[in-house]
């Protein structure tokens, strides 16, 4: 019932009530400031409805009753004493539902599970960011009505959300009543945590102000402008927490409601938020088409560099565009109050916390397509720097220790009963790596001088106090890498290699960027960078951590789960096995470029691919890139499609909770890093393409230091052209050798015989 239509647009054909939760995720509309799940205008239920504004958080009681049924869970994962104490946690707030539109035809109100749905089509077009639903509904007595619902979150004004409902009687002249307003009976984590302060209807418009009630008590408000069809206004509609304006329409061939909502929180203004929202809302153009035209002009410019075109494979082309759409709406464009969360703004799960994948899996998407948005993510980390310093101080270390799992304040928000995420200190090299990557691709010296080098310096101080000197070298002990199946290990390869890179890169940039260092500190950083242990065997294999290769190469299985995901029996002991949850070592060759010796890349990739169970969605794009870079294009295609459809096909069975945002961002990166072999350098770009026989043509764009470069791969021919900005130096590495080219406006460069 759900898939791509003939135009490659994600589309639902036919209504199934059981599909509501997952499609609410997939049909989320948003603009980086707000995210609105794809619930229905006429009704929304638990697990389905959701309206979120970035940074609008409060505290909930989080009920958790996990049970340790094996040694690994008992000893390494669950802190059962912590579980007894754990109760409250910060969370995003599911705000009142402003989508509400009720349509009554004759004496019957339209609900899809009543009467008979004769036609149903719902689609979300990534090229416009508009969700459209077309329904032909039979009320059960033979009266047929066509209803068309349209909606979008505006990219022209981040506080504006727009809806339109068109009602066309097909074979009757029954009276039509339309109610439009908001539903305040909405829960977060199963609890009511917002309180309505004012709800009123005036001349067909609805105003709602409310406040979170627990810890932060942030205020917010909606101004809902309704342009009803002609008719008789009725008394204010109030029912079970819903408030709306109601109109009994005059007889007509079609009834059209335009509904424009202005959403604001106390984070948006220094004025009283209710007054600010009322004033801004009153000034809105109340026509849907005018708002849509303004939105489309901004959105198309923003999305254009993100939109990869794949010819010859409708599935790959359509799902990649949809994945990039979801990535585009996941990130803040205009403020740094909060970062990019694991579920974007598509659901409550993970409380919309920010993790390490923000810098490694999500940030690069925006570095290469929308650098100003990438900058906001890094400014969020700068906002959290004072708390990061406090985090380090509490643990007895110098500098700053960023929270592995953070919300608005930067405090550590890892669930208190989970042991090893506290040991994932690689976050303190992931963030500096993201900063260096941003600088390399943008050349933004002002950012580095004012913010970036300060963040990195504090992280460097932390590492200088965190390393242990023994055996004539520096080591990093008692950590957990990105692979959470192996906690409390020594010398995790991913962590050590990234830390060494951060130290070296920081030293190299201090003088050019005028960042002051004492001679003593310079010597100390250089010494640790030089003598930090980088695990590598004589045969070129990189052990994921000390003792990894001595572990068992198997794991007892209880059948096969999703894809290669293993299901543990009670005796399944991950920490005694080489089976890994997600890539660690492979990241060093794919998503981070920290100077790992690539002469044994293929051997390491061969080994770790077989050990990885892919139980983390972040695996798929990493494996796609590694497959392409090692010439395994069939494997590339499989991993690539898994990355794009992780939620559309619900590969891990939890898509109703929200999209896997980091995995979806990896769709574009799989093309850029895998197929085009893209790498940024200080003096230009490098391309080492890997032609794929399954696609006729692949066209992508990348932004490098303010210039937009068009990349096209067709068979064994690579074409490059500069679409905007200053000339760019490029090197193409192919079978015929290496070719240096200078890209300038109006000139396309082609390199053939790539294999």
Burial class (CB in 10 A: 0-12, 13-18, 19+), 543: middle
Q: How many residues does the chain have?
A: 755
Q: Are 241 and 185 in contact (CB under 8 A)?
A: yes
Rg of the Cα trace of the chain? 27
To which residue do tokens 């070129």 refer?
A: 540
Q: Is 12 a catalytic residue?
A: no
CA dihedral 692, 693, 696, 700 (to 10 degrees): 0
Phi, psi of 714 (to 5 degrees): -135, 110
Q: How far apart are CA 251 and CA 232, in angstroms?
A: 11
Any alpha helices (H) in 234-370, and if so which ranges? Answer: 273-282, 288-303, 314-328, 357, 363-369
Phi, psi of 15 (to 5 degrees): -95, 125
Between strands 160-169 and 101-105, the pairing is unpaired
To which residue do tokens 């409805």 refer?
A: 49
Neighbouring-strand partners of residue 433:
none
Structure tokens at 383: 């906002």
Q: How far apart, in Å, are the Cα atoms of 651 and each of 25, 341, 564, 660?
A: 14, 20, 11, 11
Structure tokens at 244: 């709306």
Q: How far apart, in Å, are the Cα atoms of 451 and each of 328, 365, 516, 591?
A: 25, 21, 14, 24
Q: How many CB atoms neighbour CB 567 within 10 A?
A: 13
To which residue do tokens 């893209």 refer?
A: 678
Structure tokens at 423: 């040991």
Q: Are 743 and 722 in contact (CB under 8 A)?
A: yes
Task: Report the phi/psi class of residue 590: left, alpha or beta, with left for phi > 0 and alpha for psi in -120 to 50.
Answer: alpha
Q: How far apart, in Å, are the Cα atoms of 190 and each of 59, 61, 93?
A: 12, 9, 11
Catalytic residue from among 59, 130, 484, 609? 484
Q: Are 582 and 615 in contact (CB under 8 A)?
A: yes
**HEC sequence for 468-531:** EEECCEEECCCECCCCCCCCCECCCHHHHHHHHHHHHHHHHHHCCCCCCCCHHHHHHHHHHHHH
Phi, psi of 105 (to 5 degrees): -115, 115
Any alpha helices (H) in 63-122, and if so which ranges? Answer: 71-72, 80-85
Structure tokens at 602: 């293929």
Question: Which residues participate in catalysis according to the annotation?
Answer: 484
């Amino acid at each position: 019932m759900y898939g791509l239509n003939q135009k490659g647009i994600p589309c639902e054909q036919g209504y199934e009530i059981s599909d509501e939760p997952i499609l609410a995720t997939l049909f989320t509309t948003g603009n980086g400031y707000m995210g609105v799940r794809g619930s229905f205008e006429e009704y929304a239920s638990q697990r389905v409805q959701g309206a979120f504004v970035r940074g609008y958080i409060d505290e909930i009681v989080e009920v958790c009753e996990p049970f340790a049924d094996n040694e690994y869970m008992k000893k390494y994962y669950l802190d059962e004493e912590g579980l007894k104490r754990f109760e409250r946690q910060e969370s995003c707030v599911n705000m009142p539902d402003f989508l509400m539109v009720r349509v009554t035809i004759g004496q019957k109100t339209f609900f899809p599970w009543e009467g008979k749905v004769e036609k149903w089509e719902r689609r979300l077009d990534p090229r416009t960011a508009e969700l459209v639903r077309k329904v032909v509904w039979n009320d059960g007595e033979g009266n047929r009505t066509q209803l068309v619902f349209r909606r979008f979150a505006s990219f022209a004004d981040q506080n504006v959300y727009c809806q339109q409902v068109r009602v066309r009687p097909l074979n009757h002249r029954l009276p039509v009543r339309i109610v439009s307003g908001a539903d305040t009976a909405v829960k977060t984590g199963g609890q009511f945590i917002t309180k309505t302060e004012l709800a009123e209807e005036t001349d067909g418009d609805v105003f709602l102000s409310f406040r979170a009630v627990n810890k932060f008590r942030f205020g917010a408000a909606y101004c809902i402008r309704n342009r009803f069809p002609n008719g008789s206004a009725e008394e204010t509609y109030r029912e079970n927490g819903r408030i709306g304006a109601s109109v009994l329409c005059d007889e007509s061939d079609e009834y059209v409601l335009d509904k424009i909502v202005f959403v604001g929180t106390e984070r948006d203004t220094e004025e009283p938020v209710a007054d600010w929202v009322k004033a801004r809302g009153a000034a809105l153009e109340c026509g849907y088409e005018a708002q849509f035209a303004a939105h489309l002009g901004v959105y198309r410019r923003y999305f254009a560099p993100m939109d990869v075109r794949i010819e010859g494979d409708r599935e790959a082309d359509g799902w990649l565009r949809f994945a990039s759409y979801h990535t585009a709406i996941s990130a803040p464009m205009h403020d740094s109050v909060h970062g990019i969360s694991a579920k974007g703004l598509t659901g409550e799960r993970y409380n919309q916390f920010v993790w390490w994948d923000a810098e490694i899996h999500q940030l690069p998407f925006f570095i290469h397509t929308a650098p100003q948005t990438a900058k906001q993510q890094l400014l969020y980390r700068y906002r959290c720097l004072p708390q990061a310093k406090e985090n380090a101080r509490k643990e007895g270390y110098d500098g700053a220790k960023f929270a592995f799992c953070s919300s608005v304040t930067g405090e550590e928000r890892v669930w208190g009963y989970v042991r090893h995420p506290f040991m994932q200190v690689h976050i303190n090299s992931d963030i500096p790596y993201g900063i260096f990557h941003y600088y390399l691709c943008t050349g933004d010296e002002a950012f580095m001088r004012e913010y970036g080098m300060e963040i990195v310096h504090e992280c460097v101080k932390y590492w200088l106090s965190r390393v242990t000197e023994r055996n004539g070298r520096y080591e990093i002990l008692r950590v957990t890498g990105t692979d959470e199946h192996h906690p409390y290990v020594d010398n995790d390869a991913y962590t050590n290699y990234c830390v060494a890179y951060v130290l070296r890169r920081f030293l190299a940039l201090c003088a050019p960027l005028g960042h002051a260092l004492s001679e003593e500190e310079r010597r100390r950083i250089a010494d640790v960078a030089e003598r930090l242990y980088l695990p590598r065997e004589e045969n070129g294999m990189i052990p994921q951590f000390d003792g990894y290769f001595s572990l068992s190469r198997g794991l007892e299985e209880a059948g096969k789960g999703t894809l290669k995901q293993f299901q543990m029996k009670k005796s399944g002991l991950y920490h005694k096995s080489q089976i890994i949850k997600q890539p660690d070592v492979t990241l060093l060759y794919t998503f981070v470029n920290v100077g790992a010796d690539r002469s044994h890349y293929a051997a390491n990739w061969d080994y770790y691919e077989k050990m990885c169970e892919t139980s983390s969605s972040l695996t798929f794009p990493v494996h796609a890139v590694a497959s392409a870079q090692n010439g395994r294009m069939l494997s590339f295609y499989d991993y690539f499609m898994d990355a794009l459809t992780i939620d559309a096909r619900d590969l891990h069975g939890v898509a109703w909770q929200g999209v896997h945002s980091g995995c979806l961002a990896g769709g574009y990166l799989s093309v850029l890093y895998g197929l085009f072999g893209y790498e940024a350098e200080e003096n230009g770009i490098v391309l080492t393409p890997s032609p794929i026989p399954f696609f006729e043509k692949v066209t992508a764009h990348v932004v490098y230091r303010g210039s937009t470069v068009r990349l096209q791969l067709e068979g064994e021919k690579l074409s490059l052209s500069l679409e905007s900005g200053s000339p760019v130096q490029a090197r193409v590495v192919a079978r015929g050798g290496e070719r240096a080219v200078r890209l300038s406006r109006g000139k396309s460069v082609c390199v053939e015989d790539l294999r």
